[in-house]
Amino acid sequence: MKILCCVSHVPDTTARIQFTSDGKALDRSGITFIINPYDDFALARAAELKEKNPSGVHVTVLAVGKNGTSSTDNVDSNLRKALALGLDEAVRIDAEPQDAYFVASQIAAFVKEKPFDLLLFGKESIDYNGSQVPGMVAAMLELPFISYATSIEISDGKAILTREITGGKEKIECSLPLVLSSQKGLAEWRIPSVRGIMQAKAKPLHVRPLAAIAPRVSTLRHEPPPPKGTFKKIDPERIQDLVVELSNKGLI
C-alpha cells in the first residue's frame, strides 16, 4: 500500500506574528516554522501502519513550499523530521503556497503522475485555518473524501473510519484509494528517536518544479486584530454595579 502524507510548513504556535509593511505577506524574520500540528496526527498514523507492515507499506511525505533564508524557516528540515518517524521518502514541490486552489492543484498534479492508495492530511493548517485543500485534492482526483477522521483501519482494500459528528461519532467504510483529513485522536503524536533522526539524513528527498497552475485568489492585505480597549474593573461583591454598567451600555 502506498500512502502520501501532505504536510504544511507553518509558524510555531508560540510565534509573535507580524506582517510586511504593505500587509501582503507574513514577516518571516525571526520566526521558527514547524510541521502543522494537525498533520502530525496523519504522520503518526502513517508511521503506525508502516510499522505493522514494513515491507507492504510505503509512505511518502509531501510539502509545497520554498526554503526560507534562515535555518528556522527550512521546509526540507521539517520534511527530514517527518522522515525520522520511520517513513520512506519525502517530496518538496518548489513553489510558494499562494492559495488553497494552487496548493491543491500542485498536490493533485503530483498524485496523477504517481497514484497512492491513501492520502492523509491534517484537518486544517494553523496559519489560515481554511480546511480547503484536502477536499479540493479529492475533487481534482475524483476520489472519495472523509473529513475530520479520528481513527482508520485498513483491511482487504477498504478503510474503516470513525469521525466525530454533532452529538456522537460516525463509523464509515470506504474503498481505497481515499483522501482523508485527520484531527486529534487519529494517533498519538510521536517524537523521533535518535536512530530515526540519523536514518532520515540518508533517505531520499526529491525536489520537484511547480506545475504551471495559476492561483485563483490573491491577498490584498493582512491586518492584526485591533488592540484591546480599556476596561472597567468591578468588585465581584458589588454585582449591582455590573448590572448598572451593562444597562447603561444597552446590553441588558
Three-point CA angle 173, 178, 179, nearest 5°: 115
Structure confidence at residue 224 (pLDDT): 83
What is the bridge-based pairing of β-strands 9-11 and 118-122?
unpaired
**Residues 195-223: what's their mean pLDDT?**
92
Q: For the chain, what is the mean pLDDT?
A: 93
**Residues 52-57: what's their mean pLDDT?**
93
More confident residue, 60 or 28: 60
**Number of neighbours of residue 244 by Cβ within 10 angstroms:** 13
175 pairs with which residues across the strands? 158
pLDDT exceeds 90 at position 36:
yes
**Residues 222-249: what's their mean pLDDT?**
86
Contacts of 26 (CB under 8 A, 6+ apart): 11, 17, 18, 19, 20, 127, 222
Q: Which three cell numbers stand for residue 100?
A: 488553497
- Residue among 78, 6, 14, 42 nearest 184 (CA): 42
Please tell me the class of the 2-220 domain.
alpha beta
Backbone angles phi, psi at 13, to 5 degrees: -60, -20
Rounded to whole angstroms, the Cα distance separating 34 from 12 reads 6
**Number of neighbours of residue 243 by Cβ within 10 angstroms:** 12
17 pairs with which residues across the strands? none
At 218, is the pLDDT very low, low, confident or very high (cuts 50, 70, 90)?
A: confident
